[in-house]
Structure 1
Amino acid sequence: MDLLALLNHLLNFVAPAAFLALVLAFAGRFLGGRRAGVPGWWVQCAFTFLAGVAVLLTGLVVSGRDGLMTTYAALVVVCGVVQWLAMRGWRR
């Protein structure tokens, strides 16, 4: 596998986490409103992306395969919880 193919595989591996992080950060900004103590959208996006990549890596290690629906379900749940924590959802 050459470098370009490896880069393509890595980008496709983290693409679901990146997409979900962007969607949740922007949805949280528009639906949740601006509140004191809430980090900027790019910080929320970074935290959610890192948590999503960790879930995808865990799913790959545990199952030995990429792309299982249980991994994607865990990705949605974990990213949603991270976004809720970043938006300080418990203070509503």
Structure 2
Amino acid sequence: MGPLDAFWHLVNFAAPALGVAALAAVLTKLLWRKALAARPLRQLWAVSAAAGLGALVLGWVLFGRDGRMATYALLVFSCAGALWWRGFVAKPR
């Protein structure tokens, strides 16, 4: 595998986490506009994306390969949990 192939493998591995994080952060910001006024969208996306990438890596380590439905379920729950924690539990700086 060449460097370009390795790059595209990494991009495709991270794409579900980054996409789910972006969609979840935008919808969260729209639904709870007043409650999350102090939270920038970029911050919500970053926390959710980090949790999603962690979930994908954990699923890859546990199952030995990428693309299991349990990994994607963990991705969704970890993104939602990170948004809930950052948006409503952690104090704004």
CA distance in 2, matches of 1:48, 1:12: 18
TM-score relative to the length of structure 1: 0.89
| Aligned CA distance change for structure 1 residues 26 and 37 (closer, same or farther; 3 Å) | closer
1:7-46 matched pairs, under 5 angstroms = 7-35=7-35, 38-46=38-46
| Aligned CA distance change for structure 1 residues 36 and 26 (closer, same or farther; 3 Å) | closer
The percent identity for this pair of structures is 34
Q: Which runs of 5+ in 2 are unaligned?
A: none
What count of residue pairs does the alignment treat as equivalent? Answer: 89
Tell me the amino acid that sits aligned with residue 2 of structure 1: G
TM-score relative to the length of structure 2: 0.88
Q: 1:70, CA displacement in angstroms?
A: 0.3
CA distance in 2, matches of 1:24, 1:38: 17
Tell me the amino acid that sits aligned with residue 59 of structure 2: G
1:1-92 matched pairs, under 5 angstroms = 1-35=1-35, 38-88=38-88
Over aligned residues, Cα RMSD in angstroms?
A: 1.5
